[in-house]
Amino acid sequence: MNGSNQQIEQLAQSAGLASRAGQWQEAERLWQQVRALAPQHPQALYSLGIHALQRGDAAGAQELLQAAHNAAPQDPMILLTIGVVERERGNAEGEWNAIQAALSRDAYFLAGLLAKASWLERQGQARAAAQAYRNALTVAPPPPHWPDMLRSQLEHAQRKLDEYRDEFSAFLEHRVGGPREALAFGVRGRWQEAASIMVGRSKPYLSDCNQLCVPRLPAIPFFDREQFAWVPELESRTYDILREMRQVLRDEQAEFTPYIEYQPGDPVNQWRELNHSRRWSTYKLWSYSQPVDAHLARCPATRAALEAVEMADIADVCPNAMFSALAPHTHIPPHHGETNARLVAHLPLLVPEKCTYRVGFERREWTVGETLIFDDSIEHEARNDSDDLRVVLIFDVWNPLLSLAERAMVDAMMKAHREFLAGAQS
């Protein structure tokens, strides 16, 4: 770097420091010195244009910014600032052209996307503006990482997008609510979710398995109880099962162990608060396909009821069966299960108010004695917002969309997986 270039670089750095410190006159003086040494210096021209704009000298700002653009034609920020000057001059068309020119250089330029949405909003094009705000929010980082200089604009964008979604949702309900209610009860939820996705309030929930994913199975959050012949018999035994659960809860509380038990060094992610916590505890009856004989011996009615159910049998995966106890004011965070080859069933036993369950888009409340059967490979979570304990009997059953031959294939694949892992360790 020769002496002149080094001097320019030092002056530019000093000007930048002065600007960040709010020393505007000093910054402008330093940029003037840079421009005297390098008349086509883009940053000097741009910064001097900003200073002119701050003084209310729109014509001077336009001249300086146009010179900066000529020196750095691909810089979208210079073009966007030219748009700001045009706005100050009352030239809406000129502002729009500058915004479009900036986005033609960088279609993902966040400040440019926000400027485009703001322009549309000021022109009374509320719905087009909402679409543009949505594009900006899609490009933006998560809210905790929003740039400070754009935070107020992004918060405004979120408000406008929420208003748009409320308006769109109400419009859809008005137009299609009647036809949806004419559908069979079991499929209405699908079209409620379709409307939520169209409006932008939610995204499709897909099967996401920790181990074996069977492709081409539909991601059905909750299955109809009528699809399972064993449900009436199981539900008829609810109070026998409840009596045994109360007995072990009273006499063997220490046997209710934490459901989440990651070891030191394991990544716990969303399970940090519940790891090794008795706020979510279980009394195991079957565990990873093995019966827990001591517990089953204390719960003969429960054992008989479960043995009458066609529980899923997959090598070292299931059946699992347990009394699951969720403490007051405890949240089980969103998570996914092991495989969509099996479903998970809940027989609710103790259910205070303010207890809810979500699988994908659908939310349900537990009702004592009414089985919930769901695909736990779809994101799901549970809440107990009451002051009392919630307990359900949980167990695994086969996904009824699999044939007997496919069930055997599931078991064979999981056995092969275990054998491969064992060989890799030997």
Residue range 260-277, pLDDT digits in tens: 888 887 887 888 889 899
Least confident of 213-217, 298-302, 304-308, 417-421: 417-421
How far, CA to CA in Å, does 373 sit from each of 231, 281, 395? 10, 21, 10
Q: Cα(223)–Cα(375) distance, rounded to whole angstroms?
A: 8
**AA identity, residue 376:** D
Q: Cα(410)–Cα(271) distance, rounded to whole angstroms?
A: 28
- Stretch 358-387: mean pLDDT: 96
What percent of the chain has a predicted confidence (pLDDT) above 90?
73
Q: Cα(211)–Cα(150) distance, rounded to whole angstroms?
A: 42
Instruction: Place 1 in a pLDDT band, splitting at 50, 70 and 90.
Output: very low
Pairing mode, if any, of strands 321-326 and 290-291? Answer: unpaired
For 111, other C-beta atoms within 10 Å of its C-beta total: 19
Residue 426 has pLDDT above 50, yes or no: no
Domains and their CATH numbers in the chain: 3-164 (1.25.40.10), 222-261+270-425 (2.60.120.330)
Range ranked top by mean pLDDT from 6-15, 25-34, 66-75 = 66-75
Q: What is the pLDDT of residue 44?
A: 84
Residue 18 has pLDDT above 90, yes or no: no
| Per-residue tokens: 9 | 């670089």
Pairing mode, if any, of strands 321-326 and 390-398? Answer: antiparallel
Name the more confident of 260 and 283. 283
Pairing mode, if any, of strands 355-359 and 362-364? Answer: antiparallel
The 10s digit of each residue's pLDDT in 32-80 is 887 888 889 888 888 888 888 888 888 998 999 999 999 999 999 999 9
The 10s digit of each residue's pLDDT in 193-206 is 999 999 999 999 99
Is pTM beyond 0.85? Reply is no
CA-nearest of 143, 140, 95 to 119 is: 95
- Stretch 379-385: mean pLDDT: 97
Q: What is the pLDDT of residue 177?
A: 86
Q: What is the pLDDT of residue 3?
A: 61
**AA identity, residue 150:** L
Q: What is the pLDDT of residue 38?
A: 86
Instruction: Place 281 in a pLDDT band, splitting at 50, 70 and 90.
Output: very high
Q: Are 351 and 224 spatial neighbours (Cβ–Cβ below 8 Å)?
A: no
Q: What is the pLDDT of residue 87?
A: 94
Q: What is the pLDDT of residue 26?
A: 85
Q: Cα(102)–Cα(79) distance, rounded to whole angstroms?
A: 5
Rg of the chain in Å (alpha carbons)? 31
Pairing mode, if any, of strands 330-335 and 390-398? Answer: unpaired
Query: What stretch of H or E contains 215?
Result: none
User: Is the torsion defined by CA of 205, 209, 214, 220 positive or negative?
Assistant: negative
How far, CA to CA in Å, does 317 sit from each of 69, 310, 337, 418? 64, 15, 11, 10
Q: What is the pLDDT of residue 12?
A: 75
The 10s digit of each residue's pLDDT in 87-144 is 999 999 999 999 999 999 999 999 999 999 999 999 999 999 999 999 999 999 999 9
Residue 350 has pLDDT above 80, yes or no: yes
Average pLDDT score, the chain? 92
